[in-house]
Structure 1
């Protein structure tokens, strides 16, 4: 069976992905920055988190991510240490060290947030993750925590501009792979529609 992520998308599919998946939201100060764990483009994710902190765009951060093959440290440990080294106060960063996927990032982090801050005290969240995964971060949050306002910041190391993702073979493969997960994940109840119209 052919890997669908290797296809060349039509102009209509490119337009749909640009409009509905690679969403950019206006940013305003949020109660919480939710940093989804990764082993890819860690430096860019940390730099974005630090920039958001220094610009006064969040009061607390939740960093979530477990141990992955090749390292004994969790994604959370690696990302938090780098954020602290760049000036984000350690006591402002909540930790979750077990998650192995986006759903677990949210499911395992919610009790941590509730215990430390009280979920009801959090009214707005900025989701921070990879460009190609894009709206799946806030869609996952929407499924488990619909009442908070969600904003989205994404990062990557591709030299190709985001709007031209389809012209770079690896960027295209990553975007199409994530885009193809949206409907099955919705059907299985893993994610929920966001933004809500």
Structure 2
């Protein structure tokens, strides 16, 4: 079955409003949202951001997923440490099962180890298709720091051609369709402002 096919106007809106890119500069914290898709790409992206001096501290958030006895956090942190990121530079959150929980469960951990008031800039790292929902969720619960966004795409389809790959297109549209209901329910906040 073929899913919804976006027209050129919707593609343009999604490109400009949802699949945002931000200027990247060194940040106080890299917030690595857990995943079960494209784990290697997520680890590589986080490692390169750390190696290239874009962060000193990282928090990896993600709980158990069906079929695994290790949390997303455990898997991603182990991959980062194997590449050379110091284990004591990585804060851990092991319970989250969705983006909202990633943020809600991570904030007390960040506060206990670093102090929320010491963090002025955060880079959000997640999947292309979810894009702006990461910083929007973070902004809802922690509006003070400046947020930047880095996304990972483990599909062979380039980011700009997301609408040409049926599976990637379906994922982007699913996330795009969540924005307004999530805003109405107070799960996310408008970002950037």
Q: TM-score, normalised by structure 2?
A: 0.98
1:105 pairs, out of 102, 105, 111, with: 102
Aligned residue for 2:123, secondary structure, equals strand
1:9 pairs, out of 6, 15, 24, with: 6
1:167 pairs, out of 142, 164, 167, with: 164
* Equivalent in the alignment of 1:184: 181
* Equivalent in the alignment of 2:150: 153
* Equivalent in the alignment of 1:140: 137
Q: Distance in 2 between matches of 1:78 and 1:161?
A: 26
Aligned residue for 1:30, secondary structure, equals coil
* Equivalent in the alignment of 2:76: 79
Q: Which stretch has the larger CA shift, 11-20 or 155-164?
A: 155-164
Q: How much does 1:186 deviate?
A: 0.3
Aligned residue for 1:71, secondary structure, equals coil
Provide structure 2 residue ranges, at least 5 long, that are not aligned to the other structure: none
Whether 1:127 and 2:124 are equivalent positions in the alignment is yes
Q: How much does 1:6 deviate?
A: 1.6
Q: Distance in 1 between matches of 2:185 and 2:5?
A: 27
Question: What is the total number of aligned residue pairs between the two structures?
Answer: 193
Whether 1:64 and 2:49 are equivalent positions in the alignment is no
Q: Distance in 1 between matches of 2:120 and 2:162?
A: 33
Q: Distance in 1 between matches of 2:79 and 2:158?
A: 26
Q: Distance in 1 between matches of 2:148 and 2:126?
A: 11
Q: Distance in 1 between matches of 2:40 and 2:155?
A: 13
* Equivalent in the alignment of 2:51: 54
Q: How much does 1:121 deviate?
A: 0.4
Displaced runs of 4+ in structure 1, greater than 4 A?
Answer: none
Q: How much does 1:175 deviate?
A: 0.2
Q: How much does 1:59 deviate?
A: 1.3
Q: How much does 1:156 deviate?
A: 1.2
Q: How much does 1:36 deviate?
A: 0.3
Query: Superposition RMSD on alpha carbons, in Å?
Result: 1.1
Q: How much does 1:168 deviate?
A: 0.6
Q: Distance in 2 between matches of 1:32 and 1:195?
A: 18
Aligned residue for 1:56, secondary structure, equals coil
Whether 1:90 and 2:82 are equivalent positions in the alignment is no
